[in-house]
Amino acid sequence: MEHILSNELGRLIVGLIVVLIFSQLNALFLVWLERKVAGHIQLRIGPKEVGPYGLLQTIVDGLKLVGKELITPKRADRILFIIAPVLVFVPVLVPFIVLPFSKSLPLNDMNVGLLVIFSFSTINVLAILIGGWGSNNKYALLGAIRSVAQNIAYEIPLLLSVLSVVLMTKTLQMSKIVQAQGSYWFFLIQPIAALTYFICATAETNRAPFDIPEAESELVAGFHTEFSGMRFGLFFLAEYTNVFVVCAVATTLFLGGWQGPFGFSLGIPGIIWFLAKTYLLVFVIMWFRWTFPRLRFDQLISFSWKVLIPLALANLIITAGVIKLI
Amino acid sequence: MATTNSEPVLTKEYFLNLGPQHPSTHGVLRVLLKLDGEYIVEADPIIGYGHRGHEKMAENRTYKQFMPNPSRVDYLSGFLYNHGYVLAVEKLMGLEVPERAKYIRVICSELNRISSHLLWFGTFLMDLGAFTPFLYCFDDREVILDLLDYITGSRLTYCYCRIGGVAKDIDDQFIEGTLNFIKRLRSRWTDYHNLVTKNVIFIHRVKDIGIIDKNIALKYGVTGPNLRGCGVPYDVRKAEPYEIYEEVDFEIPVGEKGDIWDRYMVRLNEMEQSCRIIEQAIKKLPRGPVKASGVPVKIEPPKGEVYFPFESARGEAAFFIVSDGTEYPYRIRIRVPSFSNLQALTEVLPGTLVADTIAILGSIDIVVPEIDR
C-alpha cells in the first residue's frame, strides 16, 4: 500500500477514485442542503421523509433519474447531444486534483495549479454551447447563447481579481498561496478582489441572480430543456460540483485555505477548516438564490463590462503599483 | 473555411411559440413571438385554449342553476364574480337586499380581492426569478382561504351569495379572524418592502419597462390596476358605486407612467385600501336578516336587459343579461377585464427583450381561463 502511494501514478489513480466518490457525495449533499436552505428561508422545512432529516432524499432522486429513459429528440444533432453532458461533467472533476484540502492533501501540488483550475472550468461553457446547439430547440439555443455571452463577460473580471492575488504571492501553486496567508487572510487586504471574485464565481456557475442561461420562467429550462434522465442528472451534478469548486478556490485565495484565523488552528485539523469555510461560502451562494430576483440579460452583461471589469482592473493596477513600491 | 466573400452575415428573424405550455404564461396562453435575437419584433397573443362555454351554458340553465358558474370564470376572484352575477340578476328583478347582507358581501369581496392580489404578487415575482416571496404570499393567502372556507364552504370557487342575500350569516369567529388577518397583513408590509420593493435588481427590472401609456390603455379598454397604473383614477367602485361602496371611505391609488413599477405599487396600495374597507364595514355592520323575504323560488325576471359592471381584482368586469321573461336567461354575456388587458400587449411588447416579455405578462395579471370563459 505504501508502495502504491509513493508511486506518482498510483497516487493519481487512488486519488481519482477518491475524487469521483467525493464529488458525487458532495453534489448529493449540496442538493440536499440547497433544498433544506430553501425550505427554511421559505417558511418550510424541506425534505424530511426519506432517511434522517431527509438526507437520503437526493440518493432516491438520483436513482430515479438513473431509471429514466434517455430521450434524444428526433431532429437533434445526435453526437453533440450525447457528448455534451459528459463534456460538462468531466472538466469540473479536474480541479479536485490541485485543490489544497489540507497541508498534505493536494493530490498533485503542481506549480501551475491555479491555471489548471481556470483552464478546465472554462470548458464548461463549451459543453453548454454544444448541448444547447445540439438539442435543436429554440429555448435551448437561447440559453446557450446567453451562457456564452455571460461567461465571456465574467471570465475577465474573474481572472483579473485572481491576478491581484497572484501578483502578491508571485506563484500559481495553490499550497504556496495558502501559506502566504499565514498571519492574515487575503480578503482583508484585497477586499475588492475578493468581492469581484465572488460575484463572478456566482455568475460563472450560472447561479441566481445570474441564472439567465437556465432562467426557468423565461426559457423553460434553458440549455438543458431537452435532456432527460441521467443526462440531465450530469448537468445537475456538474452545477453543484462547480459551485463547490469555485467556493473552494475562493477559500484558498482569500480565506486562508486550511489555516485557522490569524494562524491559530485551535487544534482543528486543516481539512475541517477548509471544508467549513467552503461550505459557508456555498451557503451564501444558496442564500443569494432564494433571496434575489433574476437580472435581465443585458443588465447582467453591462454590469460586468461597466462595473466589474473597471473595478477589477483598477484594483490590479493599484496592487501592482503598491507591490512595486514595497 | 475562409472565404473572401465580403457579404454581411445573414441574420434572420424567427418565431418562438411562448406557450401554450410554458412555466410562466399563467394558464394556457400562447404568445407567438417574432424575434430578432432576443428582441421582440412582433407579439401575437393567441387565446381560446381554456374555452369552457360558460356563456352558452347559461342559456340552458335557470338563473339559480347558473349560480356556481360565475366563480369558475375567474377562479382567482371567484367571490367577486359570484357577487357580480347576483347583483346583475337583482337589478334585473328590481330586488331590494337587506343591509347586513350587503355588508357581508363587501367584506368577503374585499378579502377575495386581497387574496387575488397576493397571489399575483407571488407569481409575478416568480416570473422575475425570485421564488421566495411566492411562498410568503401563499402563507398569507392561506389565512384568507381558511376564513372564506369557514364562512362559504369552499376555498376557491365560492357560491355564497344568493339572489336576495347571502347563504348564511357570519359569526364573531369570522369577524375576529378577519381583523386578526388585517393586523397580520399590515405587519408583513415591512417584510415585503425590504425583500422586494427596495431590492436593486427588482427596481432595475421593473422601472420604465413595459409602459402602457394612457392613450394605449384607453384605446384598448384596459381597466383595473393596469389603467390606474398609468394615472387614470377609474374604479367602478367609485365611478358607479354599488352595494355599500358609497358609504365607506377609501382611496383609489394611481401611478404616473404606467410602467411595471406603477402597476406593482398600485396593487400593493390597493390591498391596504381593501383592508380599510373591510375594517369600516365590520365597524358599521348592521343587525338584521341576511336574506330578502319574498324572493320567489322560481326566478323569472321581467322581460328586458341589464348591464351590470363591477370591479373585479383585474378590472371592470360586467354581466350583460337579456331576459325573455322565462326562468332561463335568453343570453348572458360576460365582459372580462383580462381580455382587453391582454390585447394591449401587442403594442407594448415589440422592442422589449424576452425577459421583459415575461415580466410584462406577469405584471398585467391575466387569468387565461377568464379570457376564454
Cβ proximity of B360 and B209 under 8 Å: yes
pLDDT tens-digit series, residues B122-172: 888 888 888 888 888 888 899 999 999 998 888 888 888 888 888 888 888
Is B24 close to A217, i.e. CB distance below 8 A?
yes
Is A291 close to B356, i.e. CB distance below 8 A?
no
- Sheet with B315-323: list strands edge to edge: B304-312, B315-323, B329-335
Please count the other Cβ atoms lying within 10 Å of the Cβ belonging to residue A20: 12
Question: Please, is B101 exposed, middle or buried when counting C-beta atoms within 10 Å of its C-beta (0-12, 13-18, 19+)?
Answer: buried
Cβ proximity of B308 and B84 under 8 Å: yes
- Dihedral sign from CA coordinates of A126, A131, A24, A244: positive
**Smallest CA–CA distance from A38 into chain B, residue:** B132
Q: Which of A169-183, A233-247, A305-319, B187-201 has the lowest mean pLDDT?
A: A169-183
pLDDT of residue B322: 92
- B286 or A263: which leads in pLDDT: B286
Is A293 close to B135, i.e. CB distance below 8 A?
no
CA distance B99 to B112: 20
Q: For chain B, how long is the longest CA-to-CA vector? A: 91
Strands B161-162 and B165-166: antiparallel
Q: What's the whole-number mean pLDDT along residues A2-28?
A: 77
A229 part of contact set with chain B, CB < 8 Å? no
Backbone φ, ψ for residue B340 (5° rounding): -65, -40
The residue with cell 374585499 is B110
Query: What CATH code would you report for B51-372?
Result: 1.10.645.10
**Joined grid coordinates for residue B116:** 387575488
Q: Which residues contact A227 (CB under 8 A, 6 or more apart)?
A: A84, A85, A131, A135, A235
CA distance B264 to B250: 19
Cβ proximity of A230 and A66 under 8 Å: yes
pLDDT of residue B320: 92
Q: Which residues contact A284 (CB under 8 A, 6 or more apart)?
A: A198
Residue spans per domain, chain A: 74-325
pLDDT of residue A257: 78
pLDDT of residue A75: 83
Q: In chain A, which ranges are continuous DSSP H helix?
A: 2-6, 8-41, 57-67, 78-89, 95-98, 113-134, 138-169, 174-179, 186-189, 191-204, 216-219, 229-254, 270-289, 297-303, 309-325
- Dihedral sign from CA coordinates of B260, B139, B368, B61: negative
Cβ proximity of A202 and A285 under 8 Å: yes
pLDDT of residue B1: 44
Is B356 close to A296, i.e. CB distance below 8 A?
yes
CA distance A218 to B243: 42
Please count the other Cβ atoms lying within 10 Å of the Cβ belonging to residue B349: 21
User: Alpha-carbon dihedral of residues A267, A272, A277, A283, nearest 10 degrees?
Assistant: -130
Contacts of A212 in chain B (CB under 8 A): 355
**Smallest CA–CA distance from B358 into chain A, residue:** A218
Q: Which residues contact A304 (CB under 8 A, 6 or more apart)?
A: A153, A154, A156, A157, A200, A203
pLDDT tens-digit series, residues A93-142: 888 888 888 777 777 777 888 888 888 888 888 888 888 888 888 888 88
Is A297 close to B38, i.e. CB distance below 8 A?
yes
99-158 of A, contacting B, C-beta below 8 A: 138-139, 142
Q: How far apart are the first and last CA of chain A?
A: 49
The answer, yes or no, to whether ipTM is higher than 0.85 is no
Distance from CA of A293 to the nearest CA of B (A): 4
Q: What are B42's strand-pairing partners?
A: B34
Q: For chain B, list the strands marked E by DSSP.
A: 14-18, 30-36, 39-46, 161-162, 165-166, 304-312, 315-323, 329-335
Question: Taking phi first (over 0 means left), then psi (-120 to 50 degrees means alpha), and beta for anything else, what does residue B10 get?
Answer: beta
- Mean pLDDT estimate for chain A: 83
Degrees to nearest 5, angle at CA B93 with B88 and B99: 75
pLDDT of residue A52 exceeding 80, the answer is yes
Cβ proximity of B250 and B225 under 8 Å: no
Q: Which residues contact A44 (CB under 8 A, 6 or more apart)?
A: A38, B135
Q: Choose the closest CB to B131 out of A218, A290, A295.
A: A290
Cβ proximity of A222 and A214 under 8 Å: yes
Q: Which residues contact B283 (CB under 8 A, 6 or more apart)?
A: none
Contacts of A290 in chain B (CB under 8 A): 131-132
44-63 of A, contacting B, C-beta below 8 A: 44
pLDDT tens-digit series, residues A209-253: 877 777 666 777 777 788 888 888 888 888 888 889 889 889 888
pLDDT of residue A223: 78
Per-residue pLDDT 10s for chain B (373 aa) are 445 556 666 777 888 888 787 777 777 888 888 888 788 888 888 888 888 888 888 888 888 889 888 888 888 888 999 999 999 998 888 888 888 898 999 999 999 999 999 999 988 888 888 888 888 888 889 999 999 999 888 888 888 888 888 888 888 889 999 999 999 988 888 888 888 888 888 888 888 888 888 888 888 889 989 888 888 888 888 888 888 888 888 888 988 888 899 999 999 999 999 999 999 999 888 888 888 888 888 888 888 889 999 998 888 899 999 988 888 889 899 998 988 888 888 888 888 888 888 888 888 888 888 888 8
Q: Which residues contact B16 (CB under 8 A, 6 or more apart)?
A: A138, A139, B32, B33, B35, B354
Question: How much of chain A exceeds pLDDT 70, in percent?
Answer: 96
A287 part of contact set with chain B, CB < 8 Å? no
Is B129 close to A215, i.e. CB distance below 8 A?
yes
Amino acid making up residue B63: Y
pLDDT tens-digit series, residues B37-56: 788 888 888 888 888 888 88
Cβ proximity of A294 and A209 under 8 Å: yes
Among candidates A186, A182, A184, A183, which has minimal Cα distance to A168? Answer: A186
Cβ proximity of B261 and B229 under 8 Å: no
Helix axes A229-254, A270-289, angle to 10 degrees: 120
pLDDT of residue A62: 84
Q: Report the run of H or E that residue B78 belongs to, with start and end.
A: helix B78-93
Among candidates B2, B219, B264, which has minimal Cα distance to B122? Answer: B264
Among candidates A216, A70, A81, A215, which has minimal Cα distance to A135? Answer: A81
Backbone φ, ψ for residue B46 (5° rounding): -115, 125
